[in-house]
Structure 1
Amino acid sequence: MASDIIPPTDQHVLDEGPFYHGTRADLRIGDLLMAGFNSNYKPEIVMNHIYFTALPNGAGLAAALAQGNGPERVYLVEPTGSFENDPNVTDKKFPGNPTRSYRSAAPLRIVGEVTEWERQTPEQIQHWRVLLANNKGEIIN
């Protein structure tokens, strides 16, 4: 990790990365991903956090489900501040954090791009979209 990276403050966060973020945005190394944009899953909600994972395939799924028309992109990212387990999945849907999903109110710095991950089939993506559309749970923002 870079020296300006602040380690996690939550004692239950055991992951040191590397970390990934999936999107359809065309970004460059050094760009910052920030909170304050609409959710990909509930567009009426402006998110207070930026989400990331330690699993490239998980970031690939997020990219496949992301809003926009651009190609799926998975970026290697570094948190610039403290982060926590994503409460939307950790212990709420999956005990512990098997998805290795996290969130931060601080920006994520893009440090690279990953081109190889397990891509979802169109049928799998549609299945995920149906599951998300039928999800009645609230987003913990």
Structure 2
Amino acid sequence: METLDAGPFYHGTKADLQPGDLLEPGFRSNYGEQQKANFIYMTATMDAAVWGAELAIGDGPGRIFQVEPTGSFEDDPNLTDQKFPGNPTRSYRTKFPLKVVAEVVDWEGHAPEVLQQMLDHLEELKRQGVEAINE
């Protein structure tokens, strides 16, 4: 299997996970109409993981986990094709589980005004009916 990126890889969420847990597709998306996600996402950049933790649906605190893919993965077309050609965010998706390796505890969130700008942007996309690419 050819590797797109050697990692390490991260997943931002609000879920309470432990090393050895598996993250799998099939849960509600964090974006748009929150349809069932056919993929699970990971990134090799801490900034993208921070966004994932901050924007995840749920009431708990944002958390970031180092993860290992258990199968093949591809560039995340929600970012690479539409916003960032060449995948500078090193964001990927897979239909295979991601294995939690460890929690990353020493990360900093975005400034409140930057986070609010992103939330406003996502709300506008939702209003326009823009959905995550899920196929």
TM (norm. structure 1) is 0.87
> CA offsets, 1:67-117, max 9 Å, x none?
111111000000001000001111321110001100000000000111122
Structure 2 equivalent of residue 93 of structure 1: 83
RMSD after superposition: 1.4
Q: Structure 2: 5+ residue runs without aligned partners?
A: none
Structure 2 equivalent of residue 55 of structure 1: 45
- Distance verdict in 2 for CA 1:133–1:87, change over 3 Å: same
Structure 2 equivalent of residue 103 of structure 1: 93
| Structure 2 contact 12–63 (Cα < 8 Å) conserved | yes
- Distance verdict in 2 for CA 1:7–1:109, change over 3 Å: farther
| Structure 1 contact 79–107 (Cα < 8 Å) conserved | yes
Q: Which structure is higher in helix share?
A: 2
Structure 2 equivalent of residue 45 of structure 1: 35
| Structure 2 contact 10–64 (Cα < 8 Å) conserved | yes
Q: Higher mean Cα deviation, 26-35 or 118-127?
A: 118-127
| Structure 1 contact 90–97 (Cα < 8 Å) conserved | yes
| Structure 1 contact 19–78 (Cα < 8 Å) conserved | yes
Q: Structure 1: 5+ residue runs without aligned partners?
A: 1-5
SS of the counterpart of 2:78? coil
TM (norm. structure 2) is 0.90
Structure 1 runs of 4+ aligned residues shifted over 6 Å read none
2:117 to 120, 127, 130: 127
Give how far 1:7 is off. Answer: 5.1
